[in-house]
Structure 1
C-alpha cells in the first residue's frame, strides 16, 4: 500500500468514524432536533425505537472498522454503513427533503466507499481460491 493510499484511507476512515459515532450518539440519546434525531426520524416515517437500533449498530460498526483484524466482520460493518446511508438518502428523497438535508447521509456514504476502497490488505477478506 502506498503512503498516499494509506493517508486517504485514514482520513476517510477517521471522518467516517466521527460522523457515524456522532450521529449514533444523537440517535442513542434520542435528541429531539438535529440530523437523525426524534423529529427527523418521525418526519421520515420511522418509529422512534429505530433510533436505538441504528445508534447501537453505528457504534458497533465504528468499533469494527477501527480495530485491527476481523476482515470479514469489517466487510459486514462497511455493508451496514452502506445500507444505512443509502436508506437514509432515499428516505429523505421520498419525503421531498432538500439537498441540504440529504447531504450528511451522502457525505457519510462517500466516506464509507472511500474508506472501504482504500483499506489496507490486512483489513480485506482474502478468498481461498485467489
Structure 2
C-alpha cells in the first residue's frame, strides 16, 4: 500500500470511528432529540440501545489489529446501519441536513473498507 492510500485510509477510519463512537454514545444516552426522531420514524426506542452498543463494538473491531473477519462484519454493520438511516430519512421526507451525516458516515465506511491494508483483510486462499 502506498503512502497516500495509507494516509487516506487512516483519515477516513479515524473520522468514521469518531462519528460512530459519538453517535453510539448519544444513542446509548437516549438523548431527547434522538428519541423524538425514532418516534417520527416509527422505530422502537430500544433500537437506540442496540445501535449504540453495535456502533461502539464496531469501532473497537475496526481499530484493533488482526481479526479481519470481525472487521468485515463491523464494516458491513456500519454500511447497513448508515444506508438504513439515510433511506429512513429520505423515506420520511427529512431535510438534507438530517440525511447528510448518515451519507457522510456511509462514504467514510466505504473508503475505509476499500483502502484498508492487507493485514486488515480476510486472506483469500485458492
TM range (shorter): over 0.9
Q: Measure the CA separation in 1 of the matches of 2:28 and 2:89.
A: 20
Q: Deviations over 1:80-116 (max 9, x none)?
A: 0000000001100111111111000000000000000
* 1:114 paired to 2:111: yes
**Secondary structure in structure 2 of the residue aligned to 1:68:** coil
For 1:5 and 1:71, the matched residues in 2 are separated by 19
Distance in 2 of aligned mates of 1:95 and 1:72: 34
Q: TM-score, normalised by structure 1?
A: 0.95
| Alignment map for 1:1-130 (pairs within 5 Å) | 1-33=1-33, 37-129=34-126
Q: Which secondary structure does the structure 1 equivalent of 2:47 belong to?
A: helix
Report deviation, 1:45.
Answer: 1.2
The structure whose residues are more often helix, as a share, is 2
Q: 1:27-84 CA distances to partner (integer Å, 9 max, x unpaired)?
A: 0010112xxx111111111000000000000000000000000001100000000000
Distance 2:31 2:89 in 1: 19
In the TM superposition, structure 1's runs of 4+ consecutive aligned residues that sit over 3 Å from their partners are none
Tell me the C-alpha RMSD between the 2 structures: 0.6
Distance 1:41 1:53 in 2: 13
The count of aligned residue pairs is 126
Structure 2: gaps spanning 5 or more residues? none
